Amino acid sequence: DQQVKQNSPSLSVQEGRISILNCDYTNSMFDYFLWYKKYPAEGPTFLISISSIKDKNEDGRFTVFLNKSAKHLSLHIVPSQPGDSAVYFCAASVTQGAQKLVFGQGTRLTINP
């Protein structure tokens, strides 16, 4: 049972344009969401997070949007840069309790010059 889904395995975007990565979840108990970026042969690196009491969180070029009614979140990267090429994972957690993250399958983002 995949509780967190990233339906696009890959995405290709022109440099300078906006990259939009999507994530859906099924468990309504999730109330904290994160995006991680992963390069080959490295562990995931935290990018940005959002609590369920918010619908938007911004950090520089990265913005995460949360639509609780649709159980959907998205990561916007603008403008996209070649160094953004990586695999992006969406993850969800229940705030109270242990530090257990449920990850999506990941989306490979390629930024073309």
Kindly state whether residue 113 participates in binding other proteins, applying the rule CB under 8 A. no
Rounded distance between C-alpha atoms, residue 89 and residue 100, angstroms:
15
Instruction: Give the residue with the Cβ less far from other proteins, 85 or 107.
Output: 107
63 is a contact residue toward other proteins (CB under 8 A): no
From the list 4, 15, 1, 2, the residue with the least C-alpha distance to 109 is 15
Q: How far is the CB of 4 from other proteins (least distance, A)?
A: 9
Does residue 21 interact with other proteins by CB under 8 A? no
Closer to other proteins at the Cβ: 71 or 108? 108
CA angle at 86 for the pair 68 and 81, rounded to the nearest 5°: 90
Under a CB-based contact definition with an 8 Å cutoff, are residues 86 and 39 in contact? Answer: yes
Binding footprint of other proteins, residue count (CB under 8 A): 25
For the purposes of burial, counting CB atoms within 10 Å of the CB of 8, is it exposed (0-12), middle (13-18) or buried (19 or more)? middle
Please identify which residue in 12, 26, 27, 45 interacts with other proteins, judged by CB under 8 A.
45
Interacting residues toward other proteins by CB under 8 A:
32, 34, 36, 41-46, 49, 89, 91, 93, 95-106
